[in-house]
Structure 1
């Protein structure tokens, strides 16, 4: 079984409780006894943002992590890219139920990490792409290139979007520009800060039925200094 560490917290006197995104079980929780014991020769906390080959033991309750060996290079994310990765972790933990396989999500998350390593890929594109894919995995995917009546989305027209009704033309002030929908569909960067905020707010509204409306803790990690011009005005 392969997995990515999503979250770790203290458990009992010296242990850790680990949340994983795995290729076979979706979100899986494990125990790691003794991981926080000072001077312990045992296994330390596994690294994040790297795919690990996992071995566990035990039946019933939370299994015990026996080993976690990397199967790829380590990633060292910084600034906005680190904050974005933690945002993806929060999305997964809030959207999934434990031990429920979600086909394809593991590879989509892995690809997102690889994209965050690439300086030329805007952070906002990675986040909107993963949000769109997560909605699809949760059974709430939308055809971003067509309206509910199968007409192509016009980049110069306005629309409203819902999980039930899909994309519907809307000529009122405040409607979502078609260019924003087409950019989300094609994983393209948006030029203006206003369009990026529109895309962010739209995706977060669509995700609310799956992740709730509590603020994301990862937003507190969003650095105040701009890392790149494309994302400077935005947060996750």
Structure 2
């Protein structure tokens, strides 16, 4: 196995398998998400990999579960606490749930490593700073899956959205004109700011959160995220600031014309 390449990797998820082994999911830039079996990792004296720790690994074999004959730390483990810890678990769960196996993800790997680094640097668990990290990564994940949320043009005419005008977002259509004060109506200024990743106001952060949540929900198949529920159970006030439900669906008189 000495001739196998060493590749950077992060552990996304691990669970016990049989008496002494572990089933592990990894994120690597080349092969993307990789499933593996770590035989004997739970024996006395064995070594269990940890999340949020950069590694170099060797990958061998084929099929759904690859072999990892070599694992070496690539740097110190990142210390995530409080809201940052739950947020890291949220990122890991998104990747395990949504990424297909064995599809190269070099840009997403860099985005993930950067998000963990930002979370590790947060002091005091500032919810706004955590929000910005999560929204940026959610967008990068959606982009990598070809699920980019279009925030720049009107769905029916493809005309550019205009500052000062109001629009309603319909998941199967896009942005359509709305009346000011209509439920779910958004100012064009905020929509364009979200498109530019300028989440500098609470309204823009709420809008980005709702848009990305609506895009992610169908991909998750309606199954709740365990990390989100755990966060809500442990820190309900903070969870409300970071994770929200999608905006209410349009009523019958607000449905777009087909």
Summarize the Cα distance change of 1:29–1:159 in structure 2 as closer, same or farther, 3 Å threshold.
same
Summarize the Cα distance change of 1:142–1:225 in structure 2 as closer, same or farther, 3 Å threshold.
closer
Tell me by how many angstroms 1:216 deviates.
0.7
Summarize the Cα distance change of 1:159–1:48 in structure 2 as closer, same or farther, 3 Å threshold.
same
CA distance in 2: counterparts of 1:168 and 1:103, whole angstroms: 35
3-state secondary structure, aligned to 1:101: coil
The one of 19, 30, 35 aligned to 1:13 = 19
What residue number does 1:208 align with?
217
Which protein has the larger Cα radius of gyration, Structure 1 or Structure 2?
2
Summarize the Cα distance change of 1:146–1:103 in structure 2 as closer, same or farther, 3 Å threshold.
farther
The one of 114, 117, 142 aligned to 1:114 = 117
The structure where helix makes up a greater share of residues is 2
Instruction: After superposition, give the CA deviation of every residue in 1:28-86 in whole Å (9 maximum; x if it has no partner).
Output: 0111111112x32x3x1112113211013434452222222222332010111111111
CA distance in 2: counterparts of 1:178 and 1:71, whole angstroms: 45
What residue number does 1:72 align with?
75
3-state secondary structure, aligned to 1:132: helix
CA distance in 2: counterparts of 1:153 and 1:68, whole angstroms: 52
Summarize the Cα distance change of 1:60–1:96 in structure 2 as closer, same or farther, 3 Å threshold.
closer
Residues matched between the structures, number: 228
What residue number does 1:53 align with?
56
RMSD in angstroms over aligned alpha carbons? 2.7
3-state secondary structure, aligned to 1:7: strand
Instruction: After superposition, give the CA deviation of every residue in 1:103-157 in whole Å (9 maximum; x if it has no partner).
Output: 4211111111122123277111111111111111111213434444241452663
The one of 30, 37, 46 aligned to 1:31 = 37
CA distance in 1: counterparts of 2:8 and 2:191, whole angstroms: 34
3-state secondary structure, aligned to 2:30: coil
Gaps of 5+ in 1: none
CA distance in 2: counterparts of 1:30 and 1:115, whole angstroms: 28
The one of 136, 146, 156 aligned to 1:129 = 136
Instruction: After superposition, give the CA deviation of every residue in 1:179-212 in whole Å (9 maximum; x if it has no partner).
Output: 54344334344543x6644432321111123222
TM-score, scaled to structure 1? 0.82
CA distance in 2: counterparts of 1:12 and 1:141, whole angstroms: 40
**Deviation above 6 Å: which 4+ runs of structure 1?**
none
What residue number does 1:173 align with?
183
Q: Bigger shift: 61-70 or 203-212? A: 61-70
TM-score, scaled to structure 2? 0.76
CA distance in 2: counterparts of 1:54 and 1:150, whole angstroms: 49
Summarize the Cα distance change of 1:57–1:3 in structure 2 as closer, same or farther, 3 Å threshold.
same
